[in-house]
Homo-oligomer: A and B are copies of this chain.
């Protein structure tokens, strides 16, 4: 069974009863598995994580817009996190048995439906956008809700679907396809914030580092140490272990030791398997050698694997 993940971000993170009602609308869609949701009050934003096949996911996103639009009004919305829409960002993520192309097709179809049913203009982003200037979420979000009218009138910024002016209360939506995102932090045995900042600058794409790394240096005041806080946006092309080892080497240049690292939230098992493959110099390893993968495979997919007699 193909599995796609979808992680909508909505611009409501304070009125928990409203968030619960919106999440319920999604949960009720047949074929949808709700994996997680969490709200951030200072961001005034909630993140919903769900999974399913293409058709139920499209239905769930439409149900999400239907529930969110009457209750979220961006004209009065305030929060630390930048946003352009009531339903702000909707990424589709290939997990199992689907390709990135499948997710791109789903993003486009969902975007067209959202525009038609709710008169909300939609920008495609990341892999779903064919315009190189409109792949990056930060670029699309620049100017936020308040700047949308002038932005849409600017050359090259007509939305991909729907009206050419923002929805009065819901602004615009950004819908696309991307690889699973891994939130990954590396803690340093020092209280020198400038070390974490310099290492973050060394590894992130925007200042000359790895293509699929976003990073910043932050202080963990309660522990009196600093942290390189990282988003890995494509673990296949910029693997976790490579980033960890780069941070270790950079830290050594400042006489600093890496204390530990941590994965925040969920991580695809393939990303962990990749670490093992590199660390063990594993050769000829395939995903169907993972016992749990085999357990989930249908019985007629059982092939003859080389097994050693016991023992």
Q: Which residues of A contact B (CB under 8 A)?
A: 3, 5, 7, 9, 27, 33-38, 40, 43, 45, 47, 49, 51, 81, 89, 91, 95-96, 137, 180-181, 183, 187, 214, 231, 233, 240-241, 244, 258-269, 272-273, 275-276, 279-285, 289-296, 299, 302-311
In the complex, the answer to whether A81 meets B309 with C-beta atoms within 8 Å is yes
B267-A95 in contact (CB<8A): no
Chain B residues with CB below 8 A from A231, complex form: 308, 311
- Which of B49, B183, B275, B282 lies in contact with A263, CB distance below 8 A? B282
15 A-B residue pairings within 8 Å (CB atoms): A33-B299, A40-B309, A45-B309, A47-B310, A95-B295, A137-B310, A180-B291, A183-B307, A261-B280, A261-B283, A266-B307, A267-B291, A269-B293, A272-B272, A276-B276
Q: What B residues does A89 contact at CB under 8 A?
A: 310
B282 in contact with A262 (CB, 8 Å): yes
- Distance in angstroms between the alpha carbons of A81 and B307 in the assembled complex: 14
Give bound CA distance, A269 to B268, whole Å: 11
A81 to B311 CA separation, bound complex (whole angstroms): 10
Known: A35-B295, A281-B258, A291-B95. A307 touches B47 (CB 8 A): yes
A261 interface neighbour in B181, B269, B282, Cβ under 8 Å: B282
Residues from chain B with Cβ under 8 Å of A33 in the complex: 295, 299
For this chain, the copies found in one complex come to 2
Q: A265 contacts B38, CB within 8 Å?
A: no
Give every chain B residue within 8 A of A289 (Cβ-Cβ).
Answer: 263, 265-267
Which residue on B lies nearest to A47, using beta carbons?
A: B307
Q: Choose one: B265, B284, B299; the contact of A306 (CB below 8 Å).
A: B265
Name 12 extra pairs, CB < 8 A, besides A35-B294, A269-B273, A279-B279. A36-B294, A36-B303, A38-B306, A45-B309, A260-B283, A266-B290, A266-B291, A266-B294, A266-B305, A268-B292, A269-B269, A269-B291
Given A3-B295, A275-B279, A309:B43 Cβ within 8 A: yes
Instruction: Select one of B262, B282, B292, B294 contacting A292, CB under 8 A.
Output: B292
Closest Cβ neighbor of A80 among chain B residues: B309
Enumerate chain B residues within 8 angstroms of A291, measured Cβ to Cβ. Answer: 5, 95, 180, 266-269
A55 → B minimal CB distance (Å)? 18
| A306 cross-chain contacts in B, Cβ below 8 A | 38, 264-265
Q: What is the CA–CA distance of A309 and B289 in the complex, to the nearest angstrom?
A: 34
Would you give the shortest CB distance from A27 to chain B, in whole angstroms?
8
* Most chain B CB within a 10 A radius of its CB, from A33, A96, A284, A295: A295
From A27, A49, A292, A310, residue with most partner B Cβ within 10 Å: A310
Residues of B close to A241: CB separation below 8 A: 276, 279-280
- Does the CB pair A262–B284 fall under 8 Å? yes
Report the bound CA distance from A296 to B292 in whole Å.
Answer: 11
Question: Which chain B residue has the least Cβ–Cβ distance from A174?
Answer: B310
